[in-house]
Amino acid sequence: MVIELVNVLGLDIGGANTKAAFLKTQDGTVKELRTSVEYFPIWKSGKEQLPRVLEKLKKGLVDSALDGVGVTITAELSDAYMTKKEGIHHVLACITEVFGEAPMFVLDVEANLLLVKDARSEPLEVASANWAATGWMISQLIKNCIVVDVGSTTTSIIPVIKGKIAAEGRTDLEKLQNGELVYSGSLRTNVAAIVNGIPVQGRVAHVSSELFAQSGDVHLILGNIREEEYTAETCDGRGKTRREAMARLARVVCADTDMLTEQEIVEMAKFVYYKQVEHISGGLKLVRERIKTSLQEKIVVVVTGLGRNFLARKAAENAGFKDIIDMKEHLGAEASVVSPSVGVALMLASRLEGKTVRWKQS
Amino acid sequence: MVIELVNVLGLDIGGANTKAAFLKTQDGTVKELRTSVEYFPIWKSGKEQLPRVLEKLKKGLVDSALDGVGVTITAELSDAYMTKKEGIHHVLACITEVFGEAPMFVLDVEANLLLVKDARSEPLEVASANWAATGWMISQLIKNCIVVDVGSTTTSIIPVIKGKIAAEGRTDLEKLQNGELVYSGSLRTNVAAIVNGIPVQGRVAHVSSELFAQSGDVHLILGNIREEEYTAETCDGRGKTRREAMARLARVVCADTDMLTEQEIVEMAKFVYYKQVEHISGGLKLVRERIKTSLQEKIVVVVTGLGRNFLARKAAENAGFKDIIDMKEHLGAEASVVSPSVGVALMLASRLEGKTVRWKQS
Are B255 and A183 inside 8 Å of each other by CB? Answer: no
Sign of CA dihedral A30, A36, A41, A45: negative
Sign of CA dihedral B46, B52, B58, B59: negative
Does residue B76 carry a pLDDT above 70? yes
Does residue A292 carry a pLDDT above 90? no
Range B83-110 average pLDDT: 95
Range B257-272 average pLDDT: 98
Quote the ipTM score.
Answer: 0.95
Mean pLDDT across chain B: 94
| Interchain contact B233–A (C-beta under 8 A) | no
Does residue A80 carry a pLDDT above 90? yes
Does residue A161 carry a pLDDT above 90? yes
Distances (CA, A) of B78 to B74, B88, B150, B282: 8, 11, 19, 25
Does residue B358 carry a pLDDT above 90? no
- Write down the pLDDT at residue B333: 77
B106 pairs with which residues across the strands?
A: B71, B114
Q: What are phi and psi of B242, to 5 degrees?
A: -60, -40
Range B230-253 average pLDDT: 97
Question: A182-240, pLDDT tens digit by residue?
Answer: 999 999 999 999 999 999 999 999 999 999 999 999 999 999 999 999 999 999 999 99
- With cut-offs at 50, 70 and 90, classify the pLDDT of residue A360: low
- Write down the pLDDT at residue B286: 97
Are B193 and A189 inside 8 Å of each other by CB? Answer: no
CB-nearest partner of A256 from B83, B175, B177: B83
Cβ under 8 Å to B: A residues 76-105: 77, 79-80, 82-85
Question: A131-150, pLDDT tens digit by residue?
Answer: 999 999 999 999 999 999 99
Range B42-52 average pLDDT: 95
Q: What angle do CA A307, A18, A239 make, to 5 degrees?
A: 60
Q: Chain A residue closest to B43 (CA)?
A: A236
Share of chain A above pLDDT 70, in %: 97
Does residue A166 carry a pLDDT above 90? yes
Does residue A127 carry a pLDDT above 80? yes
- Write down the pLDDT at residue B294: 66
Map residue A349 onto helix, strand or coil.
helix
Are A254 and B283 inside 8 Å of each other by CB? Answer: no
Which of B78, B150, B173, B191 is the best mutation test for A, with the most CBs of A within 10 A?
A: B173
Pairing type for strands B104-107 and B113-115 reads antiparallel
CA–CA separation, B200 and A174 (whole Å): 10
